[in-house]
Chains A and B, each alone.
Chain A
Amino acid sequence: MAESSPRRAGTLNVLLLTMPAVLLMLVFLVGPLLCVIALSFTDYQLGAPSLSLIGLANYEEMNEDATVRISVLNTLIYVAVVVPASVALGLGAALLIEADRGLRGFYRSAYFLPVMATLIAMAIVWGFMLDPRIGAVNFGLKWLGLEPLDFLHDRKLVLFTLCGIGIWQSVGFNMVLFMAGLTAIPSELYEAAAVDGARHGPSRFALVTWPMLAPVTLFTVVITAIRAFQVFDTVQVLTGGGPNKASEVLLHTIYAEAFGFFRVGYASALVVVFLVFILALSVVRVFILEGRRPAP
């Protein structure tokens, strides 16, 4: 008894001290999530006075819904294009900027600008630039003697146009992450590598930079992938998912179902699917990153 009493006090303290954080988490993270999961089993319509449980009907409908299939596929293609391209370009930009100390500040801000700008506003600017009649991009193509392209209304092109804007937007962010990673590499390693014969760029990169950047790279890939899964602004502003679903992506489908057709129950089921994707990515990140950490 005499021994357990301070331990009990300790448990109580732990409970008391963690309670605010746990409570906030329950209210703002777990609670809404549970609500969405619960709604996904109902036929709730936005603003409707009542709802009824319909079991797995929403998930069954989703299984047969061609729009959802296209939407998931498009989202995966988008992620598969944007992630490698923007990570590679971000790394390249970081290496180049690190190499030239003179104009580093300027380049850093220039590449970071797209990240800071509001994507909705930038999407409108892209809309003008890509216009087949008056757009700057097609003007450039014509000047080069090429056929003008209808970037946002061509079914085969539109998704890749959006990928391009996505890459443009995330390169700067990835660059900053890589630059932070680069500055963390101790210069002794390069000196040691030089002693071992790695004097030129490629071998220095392969021997020191790339292995030392691995954790940063993984982090960057996962963060970019999560952000790419969340693509919405450009689709909403530029294409509305069209033409004929060619640029329909998951978040836009969810938005259209919930706030266009008011089918909140169905949209919630889509959100659950979306969360599974994001969760899988987060799990990958946690497991690999935590697994790498040396045991204390």
Chain B
Amino acid sequence: MRRQFIKGSAAALATALVGGGPARAQAKMTINVQYPLGFIFDKVFATLKTEFEKANPDLAVNYLPAYKEYEDAAQTALRQAITKQLPDVALQAINLQRLFVDRKIAVDLTPFIEKEKDWQGQGFSPSMMALGTYGGKPYGLAFAVSTPIVYMNEDLVRKAGGDPEKFPTTWDGIFDLARKINALGNDNVGLFYSWAITGNWMWQALVFSHGGRMMSEDEKTIAFDLEPGKRSIQLLGRMVGDVGMPNLSPEASRAAFFGGKLGIWTESTSLLRVADHGVAGKFKWRTARFPVPGPDARLPTGGASALMFATEPARQAAAWRFMKFITGPEGATIMVKGTGYMPPNSVPATNPAMLKNFYAEKPNHLTSLSQQPLMTAWYAFPGDNNLKIIQAIKDRLQTVVDKSAAPDAALAAMAADVTKLLPK
């Protein structure tokens, strides 16, 4: 009796195994993807997943919990690399891709691109590919790019006697207007400069817009402590000192603007859709160009790139299809409509069915596009201490904003800190 039972179950097991075999082979492959900045990207990636799975029925996309910020994204992924828990595709800050290339974690995309027909024709222009190319080899596909812009609460600007149509293009003009908004009372804040974004991006924006650079051409010595840097740090000091800019956390500054209490807010264009939802029609707002005192002004290109971390050929092939989708014309259209970023892909902006009409209806999104001629690389510091350098810059900027150090002293200290961390 018992033997009968054992035989029977063995047979059942065998059938299950044999029967299950082909079924398993046909099962969908799931690719793991991780992206940062959930509050900006969550909805976009949900749509991307739906559309991608519709077009690729043999693949499923699984999102790992979103990285908090860009630095956190890089740190987490580097830890994942040690514990062998990397996702197949990760979205990383454009200026932090280098970490993964140097450590041989990111996969060289050359063989995949070679198999594609008319790569450029799909909108992957040389300028887009340059954002993810290191040592002549493509590693990252730029997914979303941004520049810093000015957000203004039109109601507050008007109340303070300003004209949103003729918004000041100089910092002096902005400071005057901000002081008038402060004077309105009722907890209204004139200006907040989001200095803390990814540690050093808004600092690069100030220095580049004054015609400066982060390091010398040969990347041996720092250059942000020269004249343009001095003017930049003075400007930050004046924002806190003369204009009374409060020391807000990024969350608090968003809440202040969305609550109608913040008049002028310099932020990344990436928050446009977040602002649409946050303000929810409570007041009129619009965007203006970031002041560029020059000479030879530039603005850093913020944003994220898709990197391939998968190692097995089958997974790599699947990962490639996802990367190509999200950075291609269709993915870029979804991304732009859901955020405030600009599309690195060149197809959608010219195709009326994709984004041309969208831009006609959403003038706020055009501000950053109009700054495109000024765009330059988001500088990545050389060496292993890249992340620590970003933290050192952020720490010193903070001393200016919380008034614990004089601007010039803070800049000198920042220069000393960063010099120590550069490769010797």
Contact = CB atoms under 8 A, between A and B. Distances in A.
B interface SS class: helix
Contacts of A153: 249
Contacts of B371: none
B38 to A, nearest CB: 18
Contacts of A61: 420
Contact of A47 (B78, B249, B391, B402): B78
A45 B384 contact: yes
B100 to A, nearest CB: 11
A245 interface: yes
Nearest to A244: B398
Contacts of B399: 244
Nearest to B390: A261
The listed residue with most B CB atoms (<10 A of its CB), out of A47, A61, A153, A244, is A244
Contact of A261 (B82, B388, B395): B388
Nearest to A45: B384
Nearest to B405: A244
A257 B103 CA distance: 18
A263 B388 contact: yes
Interface string A30-54: 0000000000000001111000000
A62 B420 CA distance: 12
A265 to B, nearest CB: 10
B421 to A, nearest CB: 9
Contacts of B79: 46, 259
Contacts of B395: 67, 244-245
A262 interface: yes
Interface string A147-158: 000000101000
A48 B81 CA distance: 11
Contacts of A67: 395
A245 B396 CA distance: 11
Given A153-B249, A155-B402, A243-B398, A260 B81 contact: no
B387 A260 contact: yes
Interface string A57-91: 00001001001000000000000000000000000
Contacts of A259: 75, 79
B404 A261 contact: no
Contacts of B75: 259-260, 262
Contacts of A260: 75, 387, 391
Nearest to B255: A133
Given A46-B82, A244-B399, A261 B391 contact: yes
A244 B395 CA distance: 6
Contacts, number: 41
A48 B103 contact: yes
B402 A262 contact: no
A46 B76 CA distance: 12
A259 B76 CA distance: 9
B249 A261 contact: no
B398 A262 contact: no
A63 to B, nearest CB: 12
Contacts of A261: 385, 387-388, 391
Interface in A134-159: 153, 155
A47 B81 contact: yes
Contacts of A245: 395
Given A244-B399, A260-B75, A47 B385 contact: no
Contacts of B103: 47-48
Contacts of A244: 395, 398-399, 402, 404
Q: Which of B78, B387, B404 has most chain A Cβ within 10 Å? A: B78
A127 B193 CA distance: 27
Interface string B393-411: 0010011001010000000
A262 B404 contact: no
Nearest to A260: B75
Interface string B357-395: 000000000000000000000000000110110010001
Contacts of B402: 155, 243-244
A20 B48 CA distance: 58
Contacts of B391: 260-261
B385 A263 contact: yes
B389 to A, nearest CB: 9
A101 B47 CA distance: 65
B163 to A, nearest CB: 35
B270 to A, nearest CB: 23
Interface in A235-280: 243-245, 257, 259-263
Nearest to A67: B395
Interface in A149-201: 153, 155
Contacts of B404: 155, 244
A46 B387 CA distance: 13
A262 B75 CA distance: 8
Contacts of B249: 153
Interface string B76-106: 0011011000000000000000000001000
Contacts of A48: 103, 384
A128 to B, nearest CB: 15
A257 B392 CA distance: 12
Contacts of B398: 243-244
A146 B155 CA distance: 34
Contacts of B384: 45, 48, 262-263
Contacts of A47: 78, 81-82, 103
The 6 closest A-B pairs by CB, nearest first: A261-B388, A47-B82, A244-B398, A261-B387, A45-B384, A260-B75
Interface of B: 75, 78-79, 81-82, 103, 249, 384-385, 387-388, 391, 395, 398-399, 402, 404, 420
Given A46-B78, A243-B398, A260-B391, 5 more contacts: A47-B81, A64-B420, A244-B399, A262-B78, A263-B385
Interface of A: 45-48, 61, 64, 67, 153, 155, 243-245, 257, 259-263
